[in-house]
Amino acid sequence: MQFRDLRKQYSVLKQDIDAAMMEVAAASAFIMGRPVKELEAGLAEYVGVKHCISCGNGTDALTLALKVWNIGAGDAVFVPDFTFFSSAEVISLEGATPVFVDVDGDTFNMDASDLERKIARTIEEGRLTPKVIITVDLFGLPANYPAIRKIADAHRLFILEDGAQGFGGMIGNKRACSFGDISTTSFFPAKPLGCYGDGGAVFTDNDEWAALADSYRVHGKGMFKYDNVRIGMNSRLDTLQAAILKIKFKAFREYELRDINKAAALYTKLLAGRVKTPVTPEGYYSSWAQYTICLNSREERDALQACLKEQGIPSMVYYPTPMHGQTAYKVLNAPTDCCPTAKRLCDTVLSLPVHPYITEEEIETVCSVILGFVR
Other beta carbons within 10 Å of 251:
18
**How high is the mean pLDDT of the chain?**
97
Residue 373 β-bridge partners: none
Residue 215 and residue 145 share a domain: yes
How many separate domains does the chain show? Answer: 2
- The residue out of 215, 246, 277 marking a domain boundary is 246
Give the whole-angstrom CA distance, residue 151 versus residue 36: 36
Mind listing the pLDDT tens digit for each residue in 148-192?
A: 999 999 999 999 999 999 999 999 999 999 999 999 999 999 999
Yes or no: say if 349 and 373 are a contact pair by the CB < 8 Å rule.
no
Residue 266 and residue 218 share a domain: no
Residue 289 and residue 228 share a domain: no
How much is the pTM?
A: 0.97
Residue 83 and residue 45 share a domain: yes
Q: Residue 282's pLDDT is what?
A: 98
> 14: burial class by Cβ within 10 Å (0-12, 13-18, 19+)?
exposed
Residue 159 and residue 58 share a domain: yes
Please, what's the largest Cα pairwise distance for the chain? 67
Establish if 1 belongs to a structural domain.
no
CATH code at position 323:
3.90.1150.10
Residue 229 and residue 166 share a domain: yes
Which sequence positions are flagged as catalytic?
191
Provide the domain limits for residue 273: 255-374
- The residue out of 217, 246, 275 marking a domain boundary is 246
Q: Is 338 helix (H, G, I), strand (E, B) or coil?
A: coil
In degrees rounded to 5, what are phi and psi of residue 124? -65, -40
Strands 129-136 and 158-162: parallel
Residue 295 and residue 231 share a domain: no
Give the whole-angstrom CA distance, residue 33 versus residue 21: 12
46: part of which helix (H) or strand (E)?
helix 34-47
- The residue out of 246, 267, 290 marking a domain boundary is 246
Residue 277 and residue 182 share a domain: no
Nearest of 371, 346, 364, 316 to residue 3 by alpha carbon:
316
Nearest of 61, 36, 44, 71 to residue 235 by alpha carbon:
61
> 31: burial class by Cβ within 10 Å (0-12, 13-18, 19+)?
exposed
Give the whole-angstrom CA distance, residue 307 versus residue 326: 28
Q: Residue 375's pLDDT is what?
A: 87
Residue 133 and residue 209 share a domain: yes
The tens place of each residue's pLDDT in the chain, 375 residues long, gives 999 999 999 999 999 999 999 999 999 999 999 999 999 999 999 999 999 999 999 999 999 999 999 999 999 999 999 999 999 999 999 999 999 999 999 999 999 999 999 999 999 999 999 999 999 999 999 999 999 999 999 999 999 999 999 999 999 999 999 999 999 999 999 999 999 999 999 999 999 999 999 999 999 999 888 999 999 999 999 999 999 999 999 999 999 999 999 999 999 999 999 999 999 999 999 999 999 999 999 999 999 999 999 999 999 999 999 999 999 999 999 898 999 999 999 999 999 999 999 999 999 999 999 999 998
Residue 64 and residue 176 share a domain: yes
CATH code at position 209:
3.40.640.10
Q: Is 356 helix (H, G, I), strand (E, B) or coil?
A: coil
Establish if 146 belongs to a structural domain.
yes
Establish if 288 belongs to a structural domain.
yes
Give the whole-angstrom CA distance, residue 187 versus residue 39: 12
Nearest of 4, 83, 7, 109 to residue 352 by alpha carbon:
4
Nearest of 241, 218, 244 to residue 231 by alpha carbon:
218
Establish if 77 belongs to a structural domain.
yes
Residue 308 and residue 225 share a domain: no
Strands 182-186 and 158-162: parallel
Yes or no: say if 346 and 82 are a contact pair by the CB < 8 Å rule.
yes
Residue 368, amino acid: S
Residue 183 and residue 134 share a domain: yes
Q: Residue 80's pLDDT is what?
A: 98
Q: Residue 371's pLDDT is what?
A: 98
